[in-house]
Amino acid sequence: MTRKAANAGLMALLLSTALGGWIDQPARAATSPAAAADGSTGAESGQGHSANHSAEIHPELWPAVAWPRVIDEAGEARVQALLGRMGLACKVGQILQGDIGTVTPQDVRTYHLGSVLNGGNSGPGGDDLAGPAQWLALADAYYEASITPSADCPPIPVMWGTDAVHGHSNIVGATLFPHNVGLGAARDPDLIERIGAATAAEIRVTGQEWTFAPTVTVPQDYRWGRAYEGYSSDPALVASYVGRMVRGLQGPPSTAPILAGPHVIASTKHFLADGGTHDGIDQGDARIGETELRLIHGAPYLPAIENGVATVMTSFSSWQGVKIAGHRGLVTDLLKGRMNFGGLVVTDWNAHGQVAGCSNASCPTTVNAGLDMLMAPDSWKLLYTSLLGQVRDGTIPMARLDDAVARVLRVKQRLGLFDAGKPSTRLLAGRYELLGSAEHRAIAREAVRKSLVLLKNDGVLPLRPTARILVAGDGADDIARQAGGWTLSWQGTGLTNAQFPGATSLWGGIAAAVRSGGGVAELVPDGQFKTRPDAAVVVFGEAPYAEFQGDLASLQLKPELRGPLATMRRLRAQGIPVVAVMLTGRPLFVNPELNAANAFVTAWLPGSEGGGVADLLFARNGLDFRGRLPMVWPAEARPGARPLFPFGYGLSLADGPQGWTVLPEDSGVAEEGSAGVYLAKGQPTAAWSLEVDRAGGGESLRVTTVPALALGGKVQIAAVDHLVQEGARQFRLRANPSGTTIRLTTTSPIDIRRQSNGELMLLATLRIDSPPSGPVSLTQGCGDRCAATIPLPELKSLPAGAWTVLGVPLKCFARAGADMGRITSPWALTTRGSMTFSLAQVSLGTLADRVVACPR
Ligand code: BGC
Ligand code: BGC
């Protein structure tokens, strides 16, 4: 096997241009991708000395940055005049941002809310898949409500923020660009600016003004489930993109007003060191020194500020144990002080509730730390009340509130919001043909081509479009798989190709290329062809995920996603050359797949334009692979493994056939169970047990073998089929005055606080065989004297005899008093009545057939 050295020249250039002389070489050497080639990652290099550092920041050690002039004197005068006319309630409302799922236009009016957002699972009328006209109509409704004058509050238009993180990705039919990890492989800042401009234009079609992008994280541990939202593990590469993306979205800093052109405001996120947490744990703690904080994670904020990024979103995570959303040193002294950031700083989704001493309902610390707007999806009303009190009693100084409000108003003035009219009357609004337009899709397809990294080629590539090509693998015809998380839904799950009008799957792209070349293409997912093909393309890889759902303990492909390996091996044994195409948000241990295939292409998460992959597989119009790894690809799945391919690696077709030395196929780690799955195929997973108890204690049976009897015959347990033979357990309950509980338990408590802040649910795949004769409830236990119980009236109306995924939002339990930090029994069903039900699976997730309403 031959390997190309990392492109040291390019790195040196990026360093010198993007960062000036700021990155001092000795400090950088410890964490640069080149240094990481010896196997150490930045995250690890920080661990050893973490104890020596405190969470105290020294702004004077950081570079001073020049904030561009973004509003003129008249604009500033207007801001001050407005501020002077605003009463306290009006001011407090301006610094709050609620989610459209909980905010009505009337609320915007009553509470003077400064902003709304749509979280990943929110859409107009509660519909994630609502058409673009409904988004625009809702934007109008919020706007109209916001400009209704009232006593002590002049009309101040609301602004709407959305996660357009890879195109306007919440909107059906929008162009979906590759996720940032793929763009990092493209090494093309100019392309990044064009993507930003196209995304901004599509956002304007549906009436929003603000995107929570770009994510400028510099991931140091790819076990982190959000690593794909970052361009690269290399700060210089990330920094080389940030300014261009901000300009693409907002226009150059001199653009005034922003809404007069085809632009929106951007948000660089998540400040600071979201990609530097210990073990890559989402919302975790970055245990690193200030130098590493500055050189690695701080680097992208320089070009962001120089280019006038309008907003910065703080991270859920901590630095040295202190949550950033409450860290005055980082937010006020560093970002706004030393680095001169003149826009507004917004928190992440209820992140204030994680700050020490705070709850979702109250957090003066966050405002006093320097946050100007609180993203309070469902907590805005409680905050409105608590903030009013905290300003009145001086806990929050009026001057701080005024500063926060002035920053919000300056952003609005810069947008031109006061003069823009309602969203549907603005530039590009309602021009639905721009969503997924040919021009935007062409940019996305170019981005796909530029992002593909060729890791192996024994000469099978390029394929001939005159040949008979078999296309196989579970990812071959699955646009949601290509698109990854933050696509239509939060986790990007539960979607079919029909929900991506105008998009092209990898299969679709290959079929078109072969058709126009005169060959024959055939899609057979399991590879069992009828007519022998000349070559096969096997598409495999990760399934969509977003925040914390995507965290891994080691860099392995989940066992349930390894099926295509057998297909590759079988085809090879039949003498058919195989091209493996991997869909993934990160480098994983895939040595077996690398060995099995004749050629191996990493396609990352390419988005809606699958045709870009075919362009290179067939070298259409002489196109060649030019993507280069934006991180190190490890030789084993364990953290700190030595590199298999160095940073910057990538082959081209022009290199010709390459030799291959067979790789060891031992991942170096034990297989992990899937986190968040407590019962699968009717059986408790590792560390969990299934019990039948007499409610209130006394008798108990741990279910191991079936059939079984419990509680003196009051409960019969049997195996029944679900998907597979005996894939579920059936519980036949006789009436029991003391109550019967079916429970999953563990002796080592789990911490699911992050999962309950994000809208995750406890899902049970069950079937009611005979309906309950009395009330049924569900309890989460958290140690001896801690439990929360939710009534389950829904069970009565579930269709008997049909399998249903019943979801209970974790926050229902949190609200009912469960300590989500130490759950010992996530699922315990209790009833005194009789009923028969079957249970196949209990896990955490986002997709339910039926969602239980939290008790009021
Ligand atoms: C994510 C942010 C996102 C926000 C709004 C948070 O959970 O961390 O990246 O912008 O939600 O959806
Ligand atoms: C929302 C996301 C948000 C997440 C917070 C989800 O319910 O849809 O936008 O980022 O919760 O963790």
Question: CB-side exposure of 56: number of CA atoms within 13 Å?
Answer: 6
CA 163 to centroid of ligand 1, rounded, Å: 7
Q: In ligand 2, which atom is closest to the CA atom of 117?
A: 9
Which residue ranges in the chain fall short of pLDDT 50?
Answer: 1-52
Beta carbon of 759 within 6 Å of any ligand 1 atom:
no
Q: What tokens were used for 99?
A: 């989610």
Which of the residues are catalytic?
Answer: 348, 547
CA 349 to centroid of ligand 1, rounded, Å: 6
| 701 beta partners | 692
pLDDT in tens, 498-517: 999 999 999 999 999 999 99
Q: Select from 349, 375, 486, 756 the residue to mutate for testing ligand 1; criterion: most ligand atoms less than 8 Å from CB.
A: 349
The C-alpha atoms of residue 504 and residue 497 are separated, in whole angstroms, by 9
CA 758 to centroid of ligand 2, rounded, Å: 5
Amino acid at 648: G
| 523 beta partners | 471
According to the model, what pLDDT value does residue 396 have? 98
pLDDT in tens, 563-606: 999 999 999 999 999 999 999 999 999 999 999 999 999 999 99
Q: What tokens were used for 494?
A: 């539960």
According to the model, what pLDDT value does residue 634 have? 97
Q: Which residue has the tokens 């002489």?
A: 622
Q: Mapping DSSP to helix (H, G, I), strand (E, B) and coil, where does residue 18 land?
A: helix
pLDDT in tens, 93-105: 999 999 999 999 9
According to the model, what pLDDT value does residue 10 have? 37
Ligand 2 pocket, CB under 6 A: 119-121, 349, 490, 547, 757-759
Q: Select from 349, 379, 847 the residue to mutate for testing ligand 2; criterion: most ligand atoms less than 8 Å from CB.
A: 349
Contacts of 768 (CB under 8 A, 6+ apart): 795, 798, 799, 800, 801, 804, 835, 836, 837
Task: Give the residue whose CA is nearest to atom 7 of ligand 2.
Answer: 759
According to the model, what pLDDT value does residue 53 have? 54
Task: Give the residue whose CA is nearest to atom 11 of ligand 2.
Answer: 758
Question: CB-side exposure of 629: number of CA atoms within 13 Å?
Answer: 28
CA 759 to centroid of ligand 2, rounded, Å: 6
Q: Which ligand is nearest to the CA of 121?
A: 2
- pTM value is 0.88
Query: Does residue 590 contact residue 542 with C-beta atoms inside 8 Å?
Result: no
Beta carbon of 99 within 6 Å of any ligand 1 atom:
no
Task: Give the residue whose CA is nearest to atom 5 of ligand 1.
Answer: 119
Query: Does residue 549 contact residue 576 with C-beta atoms inside 8 Å?
Result: no
CA 351 to centroid of ligand 1, rounded, Å: 10
According to the model, what pLDDT value does residue 856 have? 80
Residues 679-716 as b/e (b if ≥16 CB within 10 A, e otherwise) read bbebbbbeebebbbbbbeeeeebebeeeeeebbeebbb
According to the model, what pLDDT value does residue 12 have? 37
CA 546 to centroid of ligand 2, rounded, Å: 9
The C-alpha atoms of residue 216 and residue 304 are separated, in whole angstroms, by 9
Beta carbon of 226 within 6 Å of any ligand 1 atom:
no
Alpha-helix runs per DSSP H in 438-562: 438-451, 479-483, 506-517
According to the model, what pLDDT value does residue 40 have? 33
Q: In ligand 1, which atom is closest to the CA atom of 267?
A: 10
Beta carbon of 490 within 6 Å of any ligand 1 atom:
no
Query: Does residue 700 contact residue 691 with C-beta atoms inside 8 Å?
Result: yes
Q: What tokens were used for 64?
A: 């001073």
Cα→Cα distances 157→90, 376, 413, Å: 12, 19, 10
Name the packing angle between helices 398-415 and 73-85 (round to 10°): 130
